[in-house]
Amino acid sequence: MAKIIGGIGTSHVPSIGVALDKGLSETPDWKPFFDGYVAGKKWMAEAKPDIAVVIFNDHGNTFFLDRVPTFAVGVAENYNPVDEGWGARAIPSFEGAAGLSWHFVDKLVEKHFDPLVCREIEVDHGLQVPMELFFGRPEKWPVKIVPIWVNTIQYPIPTPQRCWEMGKVLREAIESFPGDERVVIMGTGGLSHQLQGSRAGFINREADQAWLDGIANDYERYRQMSREDYVEQFGSEGAELIMWLVMRAAMDSRVELKHKHYHAPASLTGAGMVVLENAA
Amino acid sequence: MADAATQIPETPLFDRARSIQGYKLNKMAMDLGKPENREAFKTDEDAYLARYSLTDEEVAAVKARDWHEMVRLGGNLFFILKISAIDPTPMTRIGAAQAGMEHDDFLRQRLGKAV
Ligand SMILES: [Fe+2]
């Protein structure tokens, strides 16, 4: 059966991609941010996953408001980067782990989730940036992907509790998938930021640090929080953090926090990551 | 959750009312994800905007690049951001406009930058 080898929580701020495109990663503004990912990248290289499950949200690039899936799962063989308005970025397309995707969809529906199932679809920075942060800029990505979209744009967005439950199904799907693939799960988004309204530019460094410390083994409060609590603590767009719960729920109840990094601001956002492993 | 917008100060959530109100404005912006539409916008902004039967208020807000007003009219930043791809505006300037602050004050006070 396939095996979960680790859980990643990470920001997916679009300006990280822009910084990489423009070669700004060594500038004073960006160096401290990228330096903190070196350990995570090294962990990934050593962990050698075959598949990355990436939980992220679209940002008005792939889905318009004509149809807004609360949860969507990609079952494609291949995913191209989408044109977000600046032209599609020059990064390799992503090969899909279609077998695991379909298996996950089967499990989801069995467990009374009703996802949108996407056979032909492009991916935005929400997936691209985490892949670049942990795999660099290879000519070909070393893993196949299972993309999971969570609506965090138009209300009602799903509850944190529902994200958690989805993570449980994800684990069951991976661990019942015939094969010996090594799977890493990446919950993405956040940390605190707000782009709209007069509270724009809101960053909550304290709450971000507490999140990065707590998501490993002190996560119960984050499971209990409402969507409003997330918005209040982390900003309207910081509520993306609910997507980390999908990853966290798919891991053991006790985990080892292998790596952690925080930097603020990256553009307008508190940014960072954790690398978790199930305690042996 | 439908009226969550009223519950958290200074934080307009993109709820039912905003989504309905801003639909055409956001659709116009969404379509800028296609190069041919960006070309049309650049060539003749009025003609491009006319395709979407926007209100006069909406047209004026887009033409003035009034980010605060576009959001007030139901625009969602993720869509209207595509306008800034055509007419380059840094995200921090858009943020400052949302907050109603001078750019440097915004960088200092909100983002904690030394400027
Ligand atoms: Fe995001």
Residue of A nearest to B81 (CA): A85
Domains of chain B, residue spans: 14-87
Whether residues B14 and A198 touch (CB distance < 8 A) is answered with no
Instruction: Identify the residue among B7, B8, B21, B108 best suited for mutation to test binding to A, counting A beta carbons within 10 A and taking the highest.
Output: B8
Distances (CA, A) of A92 to A44, A49, B70: 19, 18, 35
Rounded distance between C-alpha atoms, residue B55 and residue B46, angstroms? 13
Class at the top of the CATH hierarchy for domain B14-87: mainly alpha
Does the pLDDT value for residue B15 go beyond 60? yes
Query: Helix crossing, B23-30 with B56-63: angle to 10°?
Result: 40
The matching CATH number, chosen from 3.40.50.40, 3.50.50.60, 3.40.830.10, 3.30.70.1520, for A3-278 is 3.40.830.10
Per annotation, catalytic residue among A103, A125, A259, A261: A125
Asked whether the ipTM of the predicted complex exceeds the cut of 0.90, the reply is yes
Q: pLDDT averaged over consecutive 10-residue blocks of chain A (280 residues)?
A: 98 96 95 97 98 98 98 98 96 98 98 98 98 97 98 97 98 97 98 93 97 97 96 96 98 98 96 94
Chain A CB contacts of B98 below 8 Å? 195-198, 200-201
pTM here?
0.97
Chain A CB contacts of B94 below 8 Å? 195
Residue B8's pLDDT is 81
Amino acid at B30: M
Does the pLDDT value for residue B1 go beyond 50? no
> Is A259 an active-site residue?
no
Q: How many CA atoms lie within 13 A of B82 on its CB side?
A: 29
B58 Cα to chain A: minimum distance (Å): 17
Does the pLDDT value for residue B74 go beyond 60? yes
B12 — pLDDT class (breaks 50, 70, 90): confident
Chain A CB contacts of B82 below 8 Å? 84-85
Domains of chain A, residue spans: 3-278
Which residue of B14, B79, B111 is in closest CB contact with A201? B111
B19 Cα to chain A: minimum distance (Å): 7
Taking any CB pair shorter than 8 Å as contact, residues of chain A touching chain B are: 15, 59-61, 64-65, 82-87, 153-156, 194-203, 227-228, 231-232, 235-236, 264-265, 267-268
Which residue of A15, A85, A198 is in closest CB contact with B91? A15
Average pLDDT rounded to a whole number, residues B47-65: 98
Chain B CB contacts of A195 below 8 Å? 77, 91, 94-95, 98
Q: Which of residues 8-67 of B touch A (CB under 8 A)?
A: 8-16, 19, 23, 26-27, 29-30, 32-35, 38
- The tens digit of pLDDT for each residue in A36-93 reads 999 999 999 999 999 999 999 999 999 999 999 999 999 999 999 999 999 999 999 9
Residue B3's pLDDT is 47
A265 Cα to chain B: minimum distance (Å): 6
Does the pLDDT value for residue B69 go beyond 90? yes
Which residue of A60, A200, A227 is in closest CB contact with B95? A200
> Is A261 an active-site residue?
no
3-state DSSP of chain A = CCEEEEEEEECCCHHHHHHHHCCCCCCCCCHHHHHCCHHHHHHHHHHCCCEEEEEECCCCCCCCCCCCCCEEEECCCEECECCCCCCCCCCCCEEECHHHHHHHHHHHHHCCCCCEEECCCCECHHHHHHHHHHHCCCCCCCCEEEEEEECCCCCCCCCHHHHHHHHHHHHHHHHCCCCCCEEEEEEECCCCCCCCCCCCCCCCHHHHHHHHHHHHHCCHHHHHCCHHHHHHHHCCCHHHHHHHHHHHHCCCCCEEEEEEEEEEEECCEEEEEEEEEECC
Rounded distance between C-alpha atoms, residue B99 and residue A200, angstroms? 5
Chain A CB contacts of B52 below 8 Å? none
- Cα–ligand 1 centroid distance for A63 (angstroms): 14
Whether residues A197 and B82 touch (CB distance < 8 A) is answered with no
Does the pLDDT value for residue B2 go beyond 50? no
Encoding tokens for residue A160?
Answer: 């944190």
